[in-house]
Structure 1
Amino acid sequence: MNPTQNIRTPRALLVIDVQESFRQRESWQAASDPEIAAKVARLVDHSRERGDLVVWVLHSEPGSGTVFDPALGHNRPIEGLDPQEGEPVLVKTSHNAFTTTNLQQLLTEHGIREVVACGIKTEQCVETTSRVACDFGYDVTFVVDATATEPIPHPDAPKDRPLAEVLADPRTLPTDQIIARTVYALAGRFATVTTVKELTGS
């Protein structure tokens, strides 16, 4: 047997913005997967069993007064997701997880060339992080069913409408179309798109 066959390429799981902030918003009622934390937890367990690096990324908007303002106390992983000692917890203020953090330095220090991406929102922070990671030369795996998003109002729609009005607007982009668009955009270009079951084997 070739001794190199059992050597695994160092890999990191990026858990992006799976935080309580989203659950504080009315729009979370229409999320594609309100129970996303359970799927993310399966990925975290699988990564820990493999000895992969698990990196937690949280989005922050200091001074904004929104649910992402750290002063309100929601900038923490969704209940049931608990970073272990030694697992980095990064705080970003940009859409992707690289620009305003030391993520690239962290991955370099650990010799990592492959990243697995999951989190909230599918088409925003998770997709953007995946694109940037690809541009930096990482092999990217996008676990689509371990991401979640919310319906997107039409750009010309009035702001701050009640959720019922957003959902009733035929111009609102539904979550299934958002996710499908992301798969089309990423697959074969920026990432390998897979599912929790395909990645973990269970």
Structure 2
Amino acid sequence: MRNALIVIDVQESFRQRPLWQLVDNPDIVARVDRLVRAARAKGDLVVWVLHAEPGSKGVFDPQSGHVRLIDGLVPADGEPVLTKTSHNAFTTTNLQQLLTAAGIRELTVCGIRTEQCVETTTRVGSDLGYDVTFVVDACATFPIPHRDLPSDVSNEQLLADPRTLPAAEVTRRTEYALAGRFATIRTVAELA
């Protein structure tokens, strides 16, 4: 076994936010599940990562009950489920030790938010010497508001602001930033 599929933050927390209505990939669960099934069939390690913000009293606080995989995704016996508190899956978990112990040299990454936790994990993984594949259509994200837009605006106000970065543009920029530098960009159809 040389490859590990890292599934990042495909968790109920995101579905509890109004912004979920603007997710760019509503089929994220089906696409991730397809990758997971293919990885298992090849004998690859599957690692599940969840994001937590203990004490925040928000949807990422473990006390909320939402820091769990979205329905339809179920780890198999022996598949690690790690909980992180940073934007990448390495810094606040034992992911690197787990991968080293398993002899993993290649990573396939997918999950939620394309430009945040998934991209950051990809960059760190590459810097640590892993050969990383970023599965662009097994990721999901949302439009990003301009830094000056108040945080409590409605989805309609977010979309109406001409400074908002559309989700498709976020994904496109992530692909450009990662390709040839930190990762190989692939699609689910190419891998599963």
The reply to whether residue 72 of structure 1 matches residue 64 of structure 2 is yes
TM-score relative to the length of structure 1: 0.94
Q: After TM superposition, which residue ranges in structure 1, 4 or more long, deviate above 3 angstroms?
A: none
**C-alpha distance in 2 between matches for 1:94 and 1:16:** 12
Amino acid at match of 1:194: R
* Structure 1 residues 102-113: aligned runs within 5 Å: 102-113=94-105
Q: Give me the whole-angstrom Cα distance separating, in 1, the residues matched to 2:154 and 2:22.
A: 12
Matching residue of 2:43 = 51
Summarize deviations over 1:75-114 as a string: whole Å, max 9, x none: 1111000001100000000000000000000000000000
Does 2:11 align with 1:24?
no
Corresponding residue pairs, total? 192
For residue 125 of structure 1, report the CA deviation from its aligned partner: 0.2
Aligned ranges for residues 24-173 of structure 1 at < 5 Å?
A: 24-173=16-165
Following the alignment from structure 2 to structure 1, what is the Cα–Cα distance between the partners of residues 19 and 27?
14
The answer to whether the aligner puts 1:180 opposite 2:180 as a matched pair is no
Between the aligned partners of 2:151 and 2:13, the Cα distance in structure 1 is 20
> How far apart, in 1, do the equivalents of 2:11 and 2:81 lie?
12
Kindly state the Cα deviation for residue 148 of structure 1 after the two structures are TM-superposed. 0.2
Q: Secondary structure at the match of 1:164?
A: helix
Q: Match of 1:173, as an amino acid?
A: L
Give SS of 1:154's match.
Answer: coil
SS of equivalent residue, structure 1 residue 173: coil
Hey, what's the Cα distance between the residues in 1 that align with 2:33 and 2:77?
16
* Residues 106-159 of structure 1: per-residue CA shift (max 9 Å, x gap): 000000000000000000000000000000000000000000001100011112
Give 2:181's match in structure 1, choosing from 189, 193, 196. 189
Name stretches of at least 5 consecutive residues in structure 2 with no aligned partner: none
Deviation (angstroms), 1:73: 0.3
DSSP 3-state at the match of 2:120: helix
Unaligned residue ranges in structure 1 (runs of 5+): 1-8
Task: Give the number of the structure whose alpha-carbon radius of gyration is greater.
Answer: 1
Amino acid at match of 1:15: V
Distance 1:43 1:13 in 2: 8
C-alpha root-mean-square deviation of aligned residues, in Å?
0.7
